[in-house]
Amino acid sequence: MATTDRQATTLALAHALSAAERGLAVLPLSRTKLPALRSPHRDDHEPSPCHGECGRLGHGVYDASSDPARIRELFAAAPWATGYGIACGLPPHHLIGIDLDVKTGTDSSAALRELALRHLFTIPPTVVVVTPSGGRHLWLSGPPDVVVPNSAGRLAPGIDIRGAGGYLVGPGSRTGQGVYAAAPGTAHLAPAPCPRSLLRLLLPPPRTHHPAPPTTGGHGQGLVQFVLAAHEGQRNTRLFWAACRAYEDGIGPALVDPLVEAALTTGLSEREARATIASAARLTGHRP
C-alpha cells in the first residue's frame, strides 16, 4: 500500500474513533464511499438476507459500531479504507442526514429554504459537513420512537435523506473526489433536533390496516402489523425479527403465509420474503 493510502487509513481510523466517542456508530469506507468490506455472501448461489447474524464482517451499515475495539477490528480487516461512514437512525442521536446535492443542476439549498418557509420550520444550528463537490450534509437528531426512511429526491429535487439503514460519509474521510470536512464553527455541535414540521415531511403516509388471520392469536396479529409498518430500508429487518419471534413462540408455521403477504404489501418479492423467513427458522432451530 502506498504511504499516502496508509496515512489516509490512519487518519480515517482516528476520525472514526473520535466520532465513536460522541456515541456515533461507524464503519470503514473505501474511496468510492461504499463499505470497504465486501459481503461474505457474495459468492453464495442464492444469498439469504443476513445483517451480520452469521458473525462475519462485511454487512455494510450493519457492521457499524461505537465500540473502539470493534472499530479497530473493522479497519484492520480493511486496510485500504480511506474514510468512514456514520450509521443513521441509531441511539443515542437517531441521526437523520439531509443531503443537499449540487450535481443535479438544481439549487437544493433554495429548495430547502422554500420548504422551510412553506411549512414554517427553521433548521437550528447543527453539524454541517461539506462534500468535495460543494454539497452539504446537515445532521439532525430524531425521536427514538420514529423511524425515518431513506429517500432520494422525494422531499425535493437534489435533497436526499439518510435515515434508518443508511449512513453518512464522516468528516475527515478521503474519497476519489476529495475530502469531507465539517463546516467552520459546526464540528463541536451536537446534531440538533429535527423540527417537527420537517419530520412530518420525511415520514411516508400511514399504511392501510391489514388484519391478520385470527388463527394466530393477538401476538401473531401484532407481528404481522409490525411487518406491515416497515418502511423502505427496514423491510427485511422487521420481517426477520417477526419471523424469529413467531418461531420462538411456536406459531412460526401458522404465520408464514400471513408474514409473506405482509412483506409483499411492503414491497418485498415473495422469493425475498420466504428466504428471510426460512433464515429465521434456521436461526431459531426450526425446519423451514
Task: Give the pLDDT confidence of 260-277 residue by residue, as tens digits.
Answer: 999 888 888 888 889 889
Gap between the Cα atoms of 141 and 193, Å rounded: 5
- Examine the domain organization and report whether 33 and 131 are in the same domain: yes
* Overall average pLDDT of the 142-165 stretch: 90
For the ranges 123-127, 160-164, 259-263, 277-281, which has the lowest average pLDDT?
277-281
Q: How far apart are CA 244 and CA 238, in angstroms?
A: 10
Do 73 and 38 fall into the same domain?
yes
Asked, for residue 62, whether it belongs to a domain, the answer is yes
Please, what is the average pLDDT of the chain? 88
Whether residue 167 is found in the same domain as residue 115: yes
**Of 177, 194, 211, which residue sits at a domain end?**
194
Asked whether the beta carbons of 36 and 80 are under 8 A apart, the reply is yes
**122 & 235 share domain:** no
pLDDT tens profile 162-210: 999 999 999 999 999 999 999 999 999 999 999 999 999 998 765 544 4
Q: Does the structure show a pLDDT above 70 at 48?
A: no
Containing structural domain, residue 231? 221-285
> Is the confidence at residue 227, as pLDDT, over 80?
yes
Q: Do 163 and 243 fall within a single domain?
A: no
pTM of the prediction?
Answer: 0.70
Does residue 164 fall inside a structural domain? yes
Is the pLDDT score of 4 beyond 70? no
In a domain, 214, yes or no: no
Residue 162 resides in a domain = yes
pLDDT exceeds cutoff 70 at 157:
yes
Q: Do residues 256 and 125 both lie within one domain?
A: no
Report the percent of the chain where pLDDT is more than 70.
90
Please give the torsion angle defined by the CA atoms of residues 211, 214, 220 and 224, in that order, rounded to the nearest 10 degrees: -20
Residues 225 and 155 in one domain: no
Amino acid found at 144: P
Question: Which domain-ending residue is among 179, 194, 209?
Answer: 194
96 touches 144 (CB < 8 A): no
Q: What percent of the chain has pLDDT over 90?
A: 56
Q: Where are the beta strands (DSSP E) in the chain?
A: 26-29, 83-87, 95-100, 128-130, 136-141, 151-156, 159-162, 167-169, 181-182, 192-193
Domain annotation covers residue 107: yes
Residue 2, pLDDT score: 52
* Residue 204, in any domain of the structure: no
**Are 178 and 272 members of one domain?**
no
DSSP 3-33: HHHHHHHHHHHHHHHHHHHTT--EEEE-TTS
Count of structural domains within the chain: 2
Q: Band of the pLDDT at 212, cuts 50, 70, 90? A: very low
The answer to whether residue 208 is domain-embedded is no
Task: Give the model's pLDDT for residue 122.
Answer: 96
CA distances (Å), 125 to each of 61, 100, 138, 185, 198, in order?
Answer: 27, 16, 10, 10, 15
On whether both 117 and 225 belong to a single domain, the answer is no
> Quick one: 152 and 241 in the same domain?
no
Report if residue 3 sits inside a domain. Answer: yes
Same-domain pairing of 14 and 137: yes
More confident residue, 115 or 46: 115
Domain shared by 83 and 149, yes or no: yes
Which residues have a Cβ under 8 Å from the Cβ of 206 and sit 6 or more positions away? none
State yes or no: pLDDT of 211 exceeds 60: no
